[in-house]
Amino acid sequence: MAEEEKGVVGRFLDRFTGGLRRKTTPEPIMPLWKAGIQEPVLVQGVSIPALYATVQESIILRTTINTLCQEIFRRGHYWKKKFHKQCTQCEEEYKHDTVSECRMCGGTDFKSPDADQILYPRWFVNQRNGMDQSFTDVMREFEWDLNIVDDGFIVLIKEYFLDPESGEIQFYRVKEMMRGDPTFMRLVADKRGVRGGRYLVCPVHRDKTYPFSQSIGEDAETCDTCNLDLQDVHFINTAGSGKTQYYIDGEVVHISKFNPSKLYGRSPVATMWRQAMTLTAMDNFMYLSYQKRRMPRGILSITTDNIQSTAAFWKGAEEKMERDPHYIPKIGVESATGRGRVEFVRFMDTLDEMQYGAVRDELRMRIAAFYGVSNIFMMDSGKGGGLNNEGLQILVTNRAVEFGQKLYSRDVFPRLFGEMGVTDWEMTLYPNEEEDEVTRLRRDEQEVNIAQRMAQLGFQPELTEDAGRDIRFIYKKPDPQQEAMMAQQGQQGGGQQPGGPPPEGGGGAPPPMGMPPGTGMGGMPMMGGPMGHPGAMGGAHVSPSAGNMMPTPHQASVQQGARRGAGTVQPAGGGAMGQTGSRQGALEEMAMQNLRSRRGGGLRDQNPPSTPIMMMEKGVNVGSDTDGTGQRRSLAGVTRVKAPSGTPTGATTTGQRGSDKTPIEEALDAVHDAKESAASPQGGKKKKSGLPR
């Protein structure tokens, strides 16, 4: 074997154990096994064809397995990268493209997934085999075998390409795939359970088998016809006497789902054999109970001295009942001796008395519980619907489906496409439950908020390429030299910090920790009066996602527009962001003009240009201490004042809101009126803002 073909572990062992002899621990030998064809264990003497017949006859088993199979393959499959970067020295895999040095070995040489590897597999899964079956059809058959017998076989039909001169195999391709019937497919193993060890066969001429030999290299046995090296037989198909087909390593994929072992799995249907047969007998009982040849419910015993008269009467009554099923016979019993009576002797109980429904439900639940299928997936929501445990039933079934899908992603697909040379890509099944759109958007919003905070800490967020519909970032620490260069450029350009907002007023660094201008630490105003008076910031609504972060470009433009008294500032970046800021600034400019016209310039007199006013969007539930988001908010204009005389009885005289609105509240009302006027200038009734006219 070449040095590059051994892998990292193989090269390590060769260097570490070079020149040393090797001895291994003896592997356990099963005394009941014999080298050669291994037969599956028949639980309770039930053969494999009988297991399939039981499933086909039982409506409960068939519904359960069919539901599970549908949910596993309901949404299809897709290809994804196994890694984004892989170290060529230690084969360490990374899920992002920003790695520059391997954390395991320190190497700097990486490779990306080879896109050419999935050209043929993508074409292959869209083709149909010789039985006109698609890739999904074969997988469904395979899943049925796993749920019934716990042994699934996929036969890969390979096409070998030979050198015309030497006759040696140059390469092969997987031409098609089909399901192997567990009834006839058998494993070939030795007494330890290791595959092979009994027959050798030529890959080209398989009509003749050779006894197994451990000779390798030049001493290996060759075919008598083409002189090719013989291969060890791992699987056979016992199609009949003299028609046995032999398969070598890599031509058959064998998987057990519920109880994998050295050889075969254990059939779940064989475990539930008695329950399944009981359900079948109950179905037969119901069928016979509504047929003519059913067992009579009982007999009618008549005690009389004139038996001939009674027999003649009943004969005529039966004839009338055949013509008219609704005919009610009338009978009279002679009582000359005082011993005549009519008595009904019942032979069978009713279905309610036998608890037919309860027994059937119990057996059905036991069978469905083994496969993890809840009642709600079997169209039975009578006992588990509503607010009872419907969500839990869906969760249980989703876990069973996830277990089945992981079997394909972890075992079946890697072995299947590994024969096609696929090592850098993975085929995966879509989850059976689609994620809610609102939940996905909320997760994306949280991801963006985290990216903003990471940017404030000095990291550089980068959007991943293959996140699909989701927004995902990866973070990396910037180079110290690059960071210092950016800081120097920012100082030369007016003191702007890297990654911060543009400076206001033509210079100066932005406030620390993204605090709005005009405020100090803790959000308290640096200039102006106390809370509830002009110049205070209290009452400004802050969105939950903006806590402890720098103001957005839109908020910066609003602050500048409010400070200057007119006009808007175009946000940095332009595009859709600039259009939104322009429209919002126009609305706020209209609000400020409306406010000045109502107050006669009073707002400008109370707040000189040196005192900034922070204009923010008016939110829902303004005034509550906690709005369900973990952010604490203060309500502007709430002071502890003495109520005027004439307060109604029962009302408190302290701790009430003042009668006059603060300038912040008046400004927010004016912004709201301007928005309504812009939306429908002709319609609607204006809301009273409380401003003096």
pLDDT tens digits for range 476-489: 777 777 777 777 77
Burial level of 117, CB count in 10 A (0-12/13-18/19+)? middle
Q: CA 428 to CA 693: how far, in whole Å? A: 69
Strand spans (E) along 169-316? 169-180, 185-189, 199-201, 209-211, 231-237, 245-248, 252-255, 298-303
Q: What does the pLDDT read at residue 582? A: 54
Evaluate whether residue 339 is within a structural domain. Answer: no
532 and 416 in a common domain: no
pLDDT < 50: residue spans in the chain: 1-4, 387, 495-554, 556-558, 561-580, 600-658, 681, 683-693
421 and 536 in a common domain: no
Evaluate whether residue 107 is within a structural domain. Answer: no
Q: What does the pLDDT read at residue 295? A: 57
555 and 418 in a common domain: no
Q: What does the pLDDT read at residue 9? A: 77
Question: Looking at residue 408, what DSSP letter applies?
Answer: I
- The answer to whether the CB of 269 falls within 8 A of the CB of 279 is no
- Give the distance from CA 380 to its chain's centroid: 24
Question: Looking at residue 322, what DSSP letter applies?
Answer: H
218 and 71 in a common domain: yes
- The answer to whether the CB of 591 falls within 8 A of the CB of 670 is yes
Choosing from 425, 455, 473, the residue where a domain stops is 425
Q: What does the pLDDT read at residue 269? A: 94
Q: 161: domain range?
A: 28-81+115-295+410-425
Evaluate whether residue 556 is within a structural domain. Answer: yes
The first and second tokens of residue 399, run together, are 């876990």
The first and second tokens of residue 461, run together, are 């967020």
User: 103 forms bridges with which residues in the sheet?
Assistant: none
What number of helices (H) and strands (E) belong to the chain?
17, 18
Evaluate whether residue 37 is within a structural domain. Answer: yes
Evaluate whether residue 582 is within a structural domain. Answer: yes
The first and second tokens of residue 218, run together, are 């030049």
Q: What does the pLDDT read at residue 157? A: 95
Nearest to 611 by CA among 510, 551, 535: 535
197 and 72 in a common domain: yes
45 and 149 in a common domain: yes
| DSSP per-residue string spanning 345-356 | EE-S--TTTTTH
Evaluate whether residue 646 is within a structural domain. Answer: no
Choosing from 391, 425, 459, the residue where a domain stops is 425
421 and 516 in a common domain: no
553 and 665 in a common domain: yes
Q: Give how many domains the chain has, as a whole number.
A: 2
Using alpha carbons, list the distances in angstroms from residue 571 to 30, 486, 646: 78, 22, 52
Q: CA 673 to CA 684: how far, in whole Å? A: 11
Choosing from 386, 401, 425, the residue where a domain stops is 425
- The answer to whether the CB of 31 falls within 8 A of the CB of 24 is no
Question: Looking at residue 443, what DSSP letter applies?
Answer: H
Evaluate whether residue 448 is within a structural domain. Answer: no
> Crossing angle, helix 273-289 and helix 48-57, to 10 degrees?
40
The first and second tokens of residue 275, run together, are 């329950």
556 and 418 in a common domain: no
Evaluate whether residue 375 is within a structural domain. Answer: no
